[in-house]
Amino acid sequence: MAQVLIIDDDPAQLQVREAVLREAGFSVCTTSTAEAALELLRDPAVTETLGVIVTDHVMPGASGSVFVKELRRASPHVPVIVVSGLAEAEEEYSALNVSFLHKPCQPEELIRQVREALKKES
pLDDT at residue 9 greater than cutoff 70 = yes
Identify any residues that bridge with 53 across adjacent strands, giving them in sequence order. Answer: 5, 80
Q: How do 3-7 and 80-84 pair as beta strands?
A: unpaired
Query: Is the overall model pTM greater than 0.85, yes or no?
Result: yes
pLDDT one-digit tens code per residue, 52-104: 999 999 998 889 999 999 999 888 889 999 999 888 888 889 889 999 998 88
CATH class of domain segment(s) 3-121: alpha beta
Helix (H) / strand (E) containing 102? strand 99-102
Amino acid making up residue 2: A
- Residues 4 and 21: beta-carbon distance below 8 Å: yes
Exposed / middle / buried, residue 17 (Cβ in 10 Å: 0-12, 13-18, 19+) = buried
Extents of the domains making up the chain? 3-121
End-to-end CA distance of the chain: give it in Å, rounded: 11
Tell which wins on pLDDT, 75 or 17. 17
